[in-house]
Structure 1
Amino acid sequence: MQHFPIFLNLRGRTVVLSGGGEAALAKLRLLMKTEATLRVFAAEPCDDLRTLAADGRIALAERALQPGDVTGAALFYAADEDADEDARTAAIADAEGALVNIVDNLEDSQFITPAIVDRDPVTVAIGTEGAAPVLARAIKRDLEERLPPVLGLLAKIGKLFRPAAERLPMGRARRDFWADYYFDAGPRAYEAEGEDGANAALEDLLDRHLSRSAQDGHVDFVGAGPGDPELLTLKARVALDKADVVIHDRLVAPEILELARREALLVDVGKTGFGPSAAQDDINAAIIEHASQGAHVVRLKSGDPTVFGRLDEEIEAVEAAGVAWRIVPGITAASAAIAGLGQSLTKRERNSSVRFMTGHDMKGFAEQDWRALARPGEVAAVYMGKRAARFVQGRLMMHGADPATPVSFVENASRPDQRVVEATLGDMADALSDTPLDGPVLTFYGIAPRRARAEAAAFEQEMAL
């Protein structure tokens, strides 16, 4: 992030602009929404600028900007639409302590003005670091359509009501009250009775929320998917947005944790195979502790929580504590990894079933029905199987599996750094040794990558640009 987004208080401060044409007018239309004092210098101002000056909207000096004209100003815009003149005025402004923006010159500007959706006092700023102005305009247009004009008025009414709402407990109780007002009671009351109705709705709504008993805690067991944030389900996204506490696994991608509410407490209880891990009893205790305090807890698990996620143990602990819960499924790693291979988990005349296996259990390496799996055409997805590769290889070959059976390893499925290693049953352990894989790996027995997958991956990357 090159440009850090902030909202600058311009009440009573001065903004200076040099320029007398369309570029200057475009900036002024935005700046006149603020409470700043606007001073404009233009040797040849257009008629619209003279009209704004006559109306008292700006202070206009019909001359070129000179040293001393920017002293004490907070911001300066160079909008003369002439590179040499813009460079001259920008140098003056910089020397006199103002932050400088040169219109249509991102490289030499000290700050940029984002695209803005104005629902005063609700303001949405959209920036793309100058990389994609068309994208910024498209996002702005979409938000303009989504955010009703009445939102600003409701926010102004709500701002005055905030001291009264402090009678509600901090956290979830207040959030529920304000969400009820902005997205339900407020708009309905305004539509029916205007501003007076919206004001009255707040009083009635507060009484109802104050009369409610203390909020009970709740736990959502949420699947974070394989890592790509775009593979997160809509229901999971909503749960993260409402969570007071997010108790997450080590493998949950940072980009997904970024989607949690800024005020949410993030608790890392990551488990590492054959390494340091949070004890399951401690994880259960953390979930119950926060939920018992009335928090909305999201227990965020990589992939799908119902697949090798020790979900039953956590549900049993939550139920024993009398806490309500639900499951929000996610895309499991096998589905994402097989897509990365360009293959299908099942195929007519090859296999009508697929086994989801774990490479190790709580006592070490996990035993399976190796004889059945060794039959031709069988397919298995082995989770947490990286360290168990030689064990799996030995068991299958011991029971007669063909050493030429294809095996694929997929590291960091669905993520930008995804890697695929192709092998056979006969050399799978050596293939892993020759190509160390540091990230989470899913092993496919009985499936090889599709040959056209490289071209497909290149197309996907091109479409993402």
Structure 2
Amino acid sequence: MQHFPIFLNLAGRRVVLSGGGEAALAKLRLILKSEAHVTVFAAAPASEIRDWAAQGKLRLVRRALDHGDALCAALFYAANDDDAEDARVAALARADGALVNMVDNLHGSQFITPAIVDRDPVTIAIGTEGAAPVLARQIKRELEERLSPVLGPLARIGKTFRKMADALPMGRARRDFWADYYDQAGPRAHAAGGETAVRETLDTLLTKHLTRTAREGHVAFVGSGPGDPDLLTMKARRALDEADVVIFDRLVTPEILELARREALMIDVGKEGFGRHTPQDEINAHIVRHVADGHQVVRLKSGDPTVFGRLDEEIEAVTAAGQSWSIVPGITSASAAVASIGQSLTRRGRNANVRFLTGHDMKGFADHDWADLATPGQVAAIYMGKRAARFIQGRLLMHGADPETPVTVIENASRPNERTLATTLAELEPALTNAAFDGPAMVLLGLAPRQAESRHTSETLQTVDISIEEAL
């Protein structure tokens, strides 16, 4: 991040702009929304700038900027629609100690002005560091459509009520009050009777929250999906937004952790095969202790918590402690992996069932019904199968599996660094070793990527055609 986003208090401070044409007008329309003292230097200002000066909205100096004109300015804008003049006045402003923005000149600017969604006093700034202004405007348009017009009035009224809301205990109690106000009570009241009704509702709502018992601790076992934050469920997002404590696994991606509330305590309890290891008893103790302290806890697991997630052990621990819990399912890695290769886990005429298997368990490499898995048409999604690949390959071949059975290994399914290895059972090793996968991988037995499968079918048909021609 090259440009650090901040909100600068311009109330009563000086902002200077050089220019009087279209570029200047575009900037002034935004700057004049602030409480800054604005001075414009322009020898030939547009009529709209002259009108603003006549209305007292800005001070207009009808000449070009000179030495000392930007002294004590918090911000300076070079907006002359002339590159040479912009460079000249920018140098003068820097010498006067002002932070400089040159319109449409990213490299010459010390700060940039973002696209803004204005729901005063709520302001959303959108920046792309100059890389994609059109994208910033698109995001602005989408946010404008999504955010209710009453958001501003609710925030403005809520600001006047903050001291009274301080009667609630700090932390969870206050957050619950404000969440109730902004999510439900405030919008309902505004729709029913405008700002007067909102103010009346705040008094009633505060009394309700002051008299209710403290919210008990709770743990939500949340599936974070395979890694792509777009695949996270809405319910999972809400849980992360409300969490006081997030206890997360190693495979949960940083992009998803970023969605947690900034003030939440983040506890890494990652486990790595044949590497760093957090004992399950220690994880259980973390959960129970924080729920007992009255916290809203999210136990964040990669994929779906009900699939090879040791969920039962953790539920038993909180149940034994008499604590409340809930499960928020997620998209399991097998679903993401098979979607990546354009296939389906089941198909009429091929397989009426699919197995979810683990490559190893607490005792080592996991054992399964190899004879049944070796029969034609079987499909299995093998979790944690990367290190067990040679063992799985050997067991299946030993029980008569077709060496040409397709096997696909998907590393980092759904993530930007996803990689796919399409091979056969006979070539699984050494192909997997040669691929040098170092991320989480899903092994799909009995499935090839759809493109590879189509290519194989085409090659087979071509061979048949040649054979017919030779016979003729």
Smaller-chain TM-score range? Answer: over 0.9
Show the 5 A alignment for 1:169-188: 169-188=169-188
- Secondary structure of the corresponding residue to residue 417 of structure 1: coil
| Pair 248,12 (structure 1): closer, same or farther in 2 beyond 3 Å | same
State the identity as a percent.
Answer: 69
| Pair 376,193 (structure 1): closer, same or farther in 2 beyond 3 Å | closer
User: Following the alignment from structure 1 to structure 2, what is the Cα–Cα distance between the partners of residues 184 and 344?
Assistant: 41
State the 1:358 CA deviation: 0.4
- Secondary structure of the corresponding residue to residue 101 of structure 2: strand
Note if 1:258 corresponds to 2:243. no
Show the 5 A alignment for 1:143-182: 143-182=143-182
User: Following the alignment from structure 1 to structure 2, what is the Cα–Cα distance between the partners of residues 379 and 57?
Assistant: 72
2:433 aligned residue: 433
Show the 5 A alignment for 1:125-136: 125-136=125-136
Show the 5 A alignment for 1:12-411: 12-411=12-411
User: Following the alignment from structure 1 to structure 2, what is the Cα–Cα distance between the partners of residues 421 and 160?
Assistant: 60
State the 1:349 CA deviation: 2.3
| Pair 19,317 (structure 1): closer, same or farther in 2 beyond 3 Å | same
User: Following the alignment from structure 1 to structure 2, what is the Cα–Cα distance between the partners of residues 193 and 425?
Assistant: 69
Question: Deviations for 1:350-405, whole angstroms, at most 9, x for unmatched residues?
Answer: 22111111011111111101111111111111110111111111211221112222
- Letter of the aligned partner of 1:77 in structure 2? Y
| Pair 69,440 (structure 1): closer, same or farther in 2 beyond 3 Å | same
User: Following the alignment from structure 1 to structure 2, what is the Cα–Cα distance between the partners of residues 352 and 117?
Assistant: 52
User: Following the alignment from structure 2 to structure 1, what is the Cα–Cα distance between the partners of residues 185 and 232?
Assistant: 30
- Secondary structure of the corresponding residue to residue 426 of structure 1: coil
State the 1:27 CA deviation: 1.2
User: Following the alignment from structure 2 to structure 1, what is the Cα–Cα distance between the partners of residues 203 and 453?
Assistant: 61
User: Following the alignment from structure 2 to structure 1, what is the Cα–Cα distance between the partners of residues 275 and 349?
Assistant: 41
User: Following the alignment from structure 1 to structure 2, what is the Cα–Cα distance between the partners of residues 397 and 78?
Assistant: 73
- Secondary structure of the corresponding residue to residue 427 of structure 2: helix
Question: Deviations for 1:270-314, whole angstroms, at most 9, x for unmatched residues?
Answer: 111122211111111111111122211111110111110011111
Alignment RMSD, CA only? Answer: 1.8
User: Following the alignment from structure 2 to structure 1, what is the Cα–Cα distance between the partners of residues 27 and 53?
Assistant: 15
User: Following the alignment from structure 1 to structure 2, what is the Cα–Cα distance between the partners of residues 363 and 81?
Assistant: 73
| Pair 194,408 (structure 1): closer, same or farther in 2 beyond 3 Å | closer
User: Following the alignment from structure 2 to structure 1, what is the Cα–Cα distance between the partners of residues 33 and 320?
Assistant: 57
Q: For the Cα contact (< 8 Å) 1:269–1:278, is it kept in 2? A: yes
User: Following the alignment from structure 2 to structure 1, what is the Cα–Cα distance between the partners of residues 144 and 268?
Assistant: 37
Unaligned runs of 5+ in 2: 456-472
State the 1:115 CA deviation: 1.4
The normalised TM-score by structure 2 is 0.92
State the 1:16 CA deviation: 0.4
Q: For the Cα contact (< 8 Å) 1:354–1:381, is it kept in 2? A: yes
- Secondary structure of the corresponding residue to residue 350 of structure 1: coil
User: Following the alignment from structure 1 to structure 2, what is the Cα–Cα distance between the partners of residues 85 and 118?
Assistant: 32
1:459 aligned residue: none
- Letter of the aligned partner of 1:112 in structure 2? I
Q: For the Cα contact (< 8 Å) 1:342–1:453, is it kept in 2? A: no
Question: Deviations for 1:51-75, whole angstroms, at most 9, x for unmatched residues?
Answer: 2112211111100000110111111
- Letter of the aligned partner of 1:104 in structure 2? D
| Pair 444,25 (structure 1): closer, same or farther in 2 beyond 3 Å | same
State the 1:204 CA deviation: 1.5
Question: Deviations for 1:220-277, whole angstroms, at most 9, x for unmatched residues?
Answer: 1111111111111122122112211111110001001111111111111111112221
- Letter of the aligned partner of 1:28 in structure 2? L
Unaligned runs of 5+ in 1: 456-465
| Pair 187,340 (structure 1): closer, same or farther in 2 beyond 3 Å | closer
Worse overlay, 445-454 or 263-272:
445-454
State the 1:193 CA deviation: 4.0
User: Following the alignment from structure 1 to structure 2, what is the Cα–Cα distance between the partners of residues 50 and 368?
Assistant: 83
Worse overlay, 380-389 or 339-348:
339-348
Q: For the Cα contact (< 8 Å) 1:17–1:40, is it kept in 2? A: yes
- Letter of the aligned partner of 1:105 in structure 2? N
- Letter of the aligned partner of 2:243 in structure 1? A
State the 1:453 CA deviation: 9.0
User: Following the alignment from structure 1 to structure 2, what is the Cα–Cα distance between the partners of residues 6 and 176?
Assistant: 27
- Letter of the aligned partner of 1:190 in structure 2? H
| Pair 345,148 (structure 1): closer, same or farther in 2 beyond 3 Å | closer
User: Following the alignment from structure 2 to structure 1, what is the Cα–Cα distance between the partners of residues 34 and 409?
Assistant: 57
Question: Deviations for 1:141-187, whole angstroms, at most 9, x for unmatched residues?
Answer: 23223333332232222222212212222222111100111222223
1:418 aligned residue: 418
User: Following the alignment from structure 1 to structure 2, what is the Cα–Cα distance between the partners of residues 291 and 338?
Assistant: 37
Worse overlay, 175-184 or 364-373:
175-184
User: Following the alignment from structure 2 to structure 1, what is the Cα–Cα distance between the partners of residues 349 and 48?
Assistant: 76
Worse overlay, 37-46 or 101-110:
101-110
| Pair 126,454 (structure 1): closer, same or farther in 2 beyond 3 Å | farther
The normalised TM-score by structure 1 is 0.94
Worse overlay, 164-173 or 374-383:
164-173
Q: For the Cα contact (< 8 Å) 1:411–1:419, is it kept in 2? A: yes
User: Following the alignment from structure 1 to structure 2, what is the Cα–Cα distance between the partners of residues 306 and 289?
Assistant: 23
| Pair 416,285 (structure 1): closer, same or farther in 2 beyond 3 Å | same
Q: For the Cα contact (< 8 Å) 1:341–1:453, is it kept in 2? A: no
Q: For the Cα contact (< 8 Å) 1:224–1:330, is it kept in 2? A: yes
- Letter of the aligned partner of 2:296 in structure 1? H
- Letter of the aligned partner of 2:242 in structure 1? K
